[in-house]
Amino acid sequence: MEQTFIMIKPDGAQRCLVGEIISRFEKKGFSLRGLKLVSVDSAFAEKHYADLSAKPFFNGLVEYIISGPVVAMVWEGKGVVKTGRTIIGATNPADSAPGTIRGDFAVDIGRNVIHGSDSVESARKEIALWFPEGVVEWQSSLRPWIYE
Ligand code: GTP
Ligand code: MG
């Protein structure tokens, strides 16, 4: 089934939003396949955000991501890439709807709490980068209650 890479950024971890964020993905019906708390260095953060290297905010973005531990996760489910982005909300919290993670918990675009892969292809690359050891093979016993 489809998988996505979700990362709680350093502000999300510092602000004690880890449990709340995990809970939102769990309650939706998605399955957790990988989870770790990690501190990454600038070379790794630059690799993760390589597509944005020409942007004026790139250096600030890298400094932000390396400023503390992040929670790296792989979530699985039908349409999880797109629906995960919907749960997260618009990039700029000023535009994120209430009820989304950024809409409920963030104010500034440079402190927007959480990352989610933007396509199935990006998810594949990001999961390979963050979880080279692989993820956990399991199937939730709730599956028949979530999928017809
Ligand atoms: P991610 O899930 O983190 O990848 O966010 P996104 O896909 O919603 O947005 P995008 O990939 O375009 O940008 C990556 C991150 O860079 C954003 O989440 C912001 O933290 C930051 N960012 C994007 N645009 C701006 C900007 O105009 N100014 C600043 N300061 N940061 C920005
Ligand atoms: Mg992005």
* Nearest ligand 1 atom, CA 111: 20
**Minimal CA–CA distance to 5: which of 117, 125, 144, 132?**
117
Task: Say if the ipTM goes beyond 0.90.
Answer: yes
Task: Give the mean pLDDT of the chain.
Answer: 98
Question: Which residues are documented as binding site for ATP?
Answer: 9, 57, 85, 91, 102, 112
Q: Does any ligand 1 atom lie closer than 6 A to the CB of residue 108?
A: no
- C-alpha–C-alpha distance, residues 74 and 134, integer Å: 10
Ligand 2 centroid to Cα of residue 105, in Å, is 18
pTM as predicted:
0.97
User: What digits encode the pLDDT tens for the residues 120-130?
Assistant: 999 999 999 99
